[in-house]
Amino acid sequence: MTNKKSFFGYTGCWAFVDLSSGKIELKEADPEIYRLYLGGRGVQAHLIYQHLKKIGWLKDPFSPSNRIIIGNSSLNDTTIPTAGRGSCSFISPMTYSPQRQPWLGNRPPVFGLLTHSSCGGLFANMLKRAGIDQLVIDGRADKPVRILVNEGKVEILEAEPELFEEKDGKKVLRRTSEITDFLTRKHPGSSTVCTGPAGWNQVAFACLTADYHRNFGRGGAGAVFGSKNLIAITAYGRKLPAYYDRARFLETAKQIDEAVKGHVHDPNWTASFRPETGTTWWLDRAFNGGYLGKVGGYLPWHNFDEGYFDPELYKKVSTGAFLEIAGKHKVCNRCRHILCTRTASVKECPYAHESVRPEFETIALWINCCLTDREAIFYLNHLCNEYGVDTMTLGSVMAGVMELQEKGFLKSKAAPVFGDPGSMIRALEQIIYGTTDLGCLLAKPTDLVIAELLASLSGAGPEEVVRCLTTAYAGLGYAGIEPKVFPGMFTAYGTSNRGRGDHTYAWTIQAEESGLTGAENLAAYVAGSQVGKALTDSLGLCDFFTEDFTSPTFLEMYRALTGFEYTAESFKECGRRIYALERYVNNQQGRKRDYDAFIPPKFLEPLTAGPQAGKAVDPILYNAILDAYYQNQKWTMDGLVPETLLGEYGIQE
Ligand code: SF4
């Protein structure tokens, strides 16, 4: 079945697993779909679109009908640097706001957005070696199960009792490292992706953890696993990809490899900082301009009220502070040269342990909770990996609740407090295990939280609650760049297909710091970035890969691998097709301009401290950028993808 002429670079196999019926089907993939959508994120968007078109648009992300797909791409497991990223696609529980609410201006409901998460480590490459491109999971098992993919054979297995433990008289799932240890002992040489206690408890922002510390982080993939009674997927195989023209591939791949290596050794490229500081170099840049002498003042503080705070406190959590605890590299499979991940350890303190250094976004969003205890941030990051929870959304939700607590609106004594790591760890455990009313509440998507809070808060009205909770109206949670400072980045946050607040689908900071302004320019930059990211995710590469996908060498390498020929323009069109298809699905799920245009109220209040004091989101400018953005994307002014555009992009009915 595999390695036919049409499947060079791919295994050519899609595995469909129905957990409700126990049926497993291995199907030959459609090469035309690979040509149109490349792999990973793109192919998976197509498979979810086809599914929802057939069964009806999803009204509940926790329903068994929520298809979740984990897969890889043609470049995975090749010698191209960073070719180890896997894809997970599903309708996100975190972006769920099922009713019109007066406090959201009666905006239309959003029933969960089509979301894609990318994850490094080994899992995606191992799934490919096991002979599967996409593992498509439907239904819900009637008892806890796990999936084993072993050398092309796919099985649903009953979950072993050892995967559970008892906590306060309740049966709960073990931590992700314990699950991974157990399954690795059972299947030597394999790789595992699993949900943890957070996903088992269906926390709306639970993630999936692969190979101990890599995550399909955002959107709630772990909760979807939990809702399906699915604990883990373990993969093992030894198959290598076939090449259309191996000699030519090796020749062009070597040129690409050398170019990336050159960028890592060139101080003008941000890639040159990654082997040492990873993403944490953004801390210095966001706070004080960092090594390039730019203007900082956009590291969020006190639930996004400010972008600047006491520099003496900052020193404790700076790029240098996290460099002091860094150890050796611990990178994704097939990562070469860029090597952004390092171990870290702290000793002789209440948080003494060894794991991996947290990423910039995680640290920034814990600083946003006024936490300036490096050891505690490091430990919280470790706990999030162990419990299987997205550090970013958790940080945003936690900061919002802290503000409600600070203002005296919350009755619960269990509420976390700004700057207090102990209260944050306790609140995290309440959320993960649902041990208090507050913990159970905060595990839900934010608009359900607001509805329930309003019935119980003392003194607070809807405006105060929405002001504190920046994830309101089906938001994913804003990332670690203060949203008030860069209008382009605010547009990237507002229009990301996977939900408001996401920073990975477009990134504008360097361009805006270099002088990019004007509604049309900013809109074009964001739309172009989103197309580039759709390509990155669909190729199985990392965001930090430095080569241009549309260069003659890259396209020749891709032809030599897959046999597919593209021009620069037709390759870019794949990215535009993927972005439009995702948006079309999201339109059916309820997303329109109302969603993109929503500005969390506190972002209208100017910063008062630091070099960006006075900055706030300008609603007039933002609306002008949105107009230009929709025009650029060829969508309607209401943010809808017209059917004619689907035809123009060759999106199949
Ligand atoms: S640069 Fe970092 S995230 Fe990207 S592939 Fe390498 S180790 Fe993984």
pLDDT of 588-633, one tens digit each? Answer: 999 999 999 999 999 999 999 999 999 999 999 999 999 999 999 9
Section 88-95 average pLDDT = 98
Edge to edge, the sheet with strand 191-194 lists 153-158, 145-150, 230-236, 191-194, 208-210, 214-216
Secondary structure string (H, E, C) spanning 221-250: HHHHHHHCCEEEEEEECCCCCCCCCHHHHH
| Ligand 1 atom 2 nearest Cα | 340
Average pLDDT over residues 341-347: 94
Across the chain, how many H-helices and E-strands are there?
Answer: 26, 19
Residue 116, CA distances (Å) to 4, 43, 426, 463 in order = 29, 11, 30, 32
Task: Report the distance separating Cα 85 and Cα 262, nearest Å.
Answer: 22
Q: What's the pLDDT at 2?
A: 42
**119: nearest Cα among 204, 208, 195:** 208
Question: In this structure, what token pair is assigned to residue 471?
Answer: 């994830």
Residue of 72, 79, 82 to test ligand 1 pocket, by largest number of atoms within 8 Å of CB:
82
Mean pLDDT value of segment 89-103 = 96
Which residues, 6+ apart, have CB-to-CB distance to 145 below 8 Å?
19, 156, 157, 158, 159, 229, 230, 231
Q: What is the pLDDT of residues 225-261, one digit of tens each?
A: 999 999 999 999 999 889 999 999 999 999 999 999 9
Q: DSSP letter at 273? A: G
Its pTM stands at 0.97
Specify the pLDDT at position 414: 86
Residues in the chain: 653
Which atom of ligand 1 lies closest to the CA of 84? 5
DSSP 69-129: EEE--TTTTSSSTTTT-EEEEEE-STTEE-S--GGGTTPPPEE--EEEEEE-SSHHHHHHH
- Ligand 1 atom with the smallest distance to the CA of 329 is 7
Distance separating alpha carbons of residues 3 and 625, to the nearest angstrom = 46
Report the mean per-residue pLDDT for the chain: 95
Spatial separation of the C-alpha atoms in residues 584 and 21, rounded to whole Å: 30
The highest-level CATH class for domain 5-236 is alpha beta
Find the 238 Cα to ligand 1 centroid distance in Å: 23
Cα 57 to ligand 1 centre (Å): 35
- What average pLDDT score do residues 101-112 get? 95
Residue 338 Cα, ligand 1 centroid: separation in angstroms? 7
Bridge-based pairing state of the strands 145-150 and 230-236? parallel
Checking phi first, is residue 614 left (phi over 0); if not, alpha (psi -120 to 50) or beta?
left
Q: Give the per-residue pLDDT at 15.
A: 98
Residue pLDDT, tens place only, 2-12? 444 468 999 99
Same fold, 5-236 and 487-648: no
Residue 124 CA to residue 132 CA, distance in Å, equals 10
Name every protein residue with a CB atom under 6 angstroms from any ligand 1 atom. Answer: 82, 84, 120, 331-332, 335, 338-341, 542, 544
Each residue's pLDDT tens digit, 187-198: 999 999 999 999
- Residue in 331, 356, 546 to alter for ligand 1 test, most ligand atoms within 8 A of Cβ: 331
User: What are 396-440's pLDDT values in tens digits?
Assistant: 999 999 999 999 998 888 899 999 999 999 999 999 999 999 999
What is the CATH T-level fold of the domain 487-648, as seen in this structure? 1.10.599
Return the CATH fold of 269-468. 1.10.569
- Protein residue whose Cα sits closest to atom 7 of ligand 1: 331
172 forms beta bridges with 165
Rounded to an integer, what distance in angstroms lies between the CA atom of residue 506 and that of residue 495? 9
Q: Strand pairing of 191-194 and 164-167?
A: unpaired
Ligand 1, atom 8, lies closest to the CA of 332
Question: Measuring CA to CA, which residue among 213, 208, 209, 250 is closest to residue 227?
Answer: 208
Cβ neighbours around 222 below 10 Å, total: 35
- Residues of the chain with pLDDT > 70, as a percent, come to 98
The DSSP code sequence of 344-389 is EEE-SSTT-EEEEPPPHHHHHHHHTTT---HHHHHHHHHHHHHHTB
d(CA 517, CA 497): 23
* Alpha helix positions (H), 508-638: 509-513, 519-539, 552-562, 568-588, 593-597, 619-633
CA–CA gap between residue 459 and residue 91 (Å, rounded)? 35
With the most atoms of ligand 1 within 8 angstroms of its CB, the residue from 78, 338, 339, 533 to mutate is 338
pLDDT, tens digit (0-9, with 9 covering 90-100), for 298-331: 999 999 999 999 999 999 999 999 999 999 999 9
Residue 568's closest CA among 556, 546, 551? 551
Angle between helix axes 246-264 and 552-562 (nearest 10 degrees) is 140
In whole angstroms, give the CA distance from residue 7 to residue 29.
9
Distances (CA, A) of 489 to 56, 118, 259, 467, 481: 34, 20, 29, 20, 8
pLDDT > 50? residue 491: yes
Distance, in Å, from the CA atom of 58 to the CA atom of 224, rounded to the nearest integer, reads 13
Per-residue CA distances from 160 to 22, 179, 186, 489 (Å): 17, 10, 11, 46
Task: For residue 111, list its beta bridge partners.
Answer: 96
Residue at token pair 């549309």? 550
Ligand 1 centroid to Cα of residue 637, in Å, is: 38
| Distance from Cα 472 to the centre of ligand 1, integer Å | 32
Q: Which of 214, 279, 341, 360 to mutate to test the pocket of ligand 1 (most atoms within 8 A of CB)?
A: 341
Q: Atom 5 in ligand 1: which residue has the minimum CA distance?
A: 82
CA 485 centroid distance within chain: 22
Residue 537 has pLDDT above 80, yes or no: yes
C-alpha–C-alpha distance, residues 382 and 385, integer Å:
5
274 Cα nearest atom in ligand 1: 1
Alpha carbon distance 223, 208 (integer Å): 9
Domain boundaries, the chain: 5-236, 269-468, 487-648
Measure the N-to-C terminal CA separation of the chain; round to a whole number of Å: 26
- 8 A C-beta contact, residue 326 and residue 307: no
Residue 382: is its pLDDT beyond 90? yes
* Nearest Cα to Cα of residue 646 among 67, 49, 30, 32: 49
pLDDT at 291 over 90: no
Q: Is the CB of residue 475 less than 8 Å from the CB of residue 450?
A: no
Find the helix or strand (DSSP H, E) in which 494 lies.
helix 487-495
Residue 541 CA: nearest ligand 1 atom is 5
Rg over alpha carbons for the chain, rounded to the nearest Å, is 23
The upper half-sphere exposure of residue 636, i.e. CA atoms within 13 Å in the direction of its Cβ, equals 12
Average pLDDT over residues 119-138: 97
Those residues whose C-beta lies under 8 Å from the C-beta of residue 515, and which sit 6 or more positions away, are: none
Distance (Å, rounded) from C-alpha 650 to C-alpha 37?
11
**Which ligand 1 atom is the nearest neighbour of the CA of 332?**
8
pLDDT (0 to 100) of residue 6: 63
- Check pLDDT > 60 for residue 367: yes
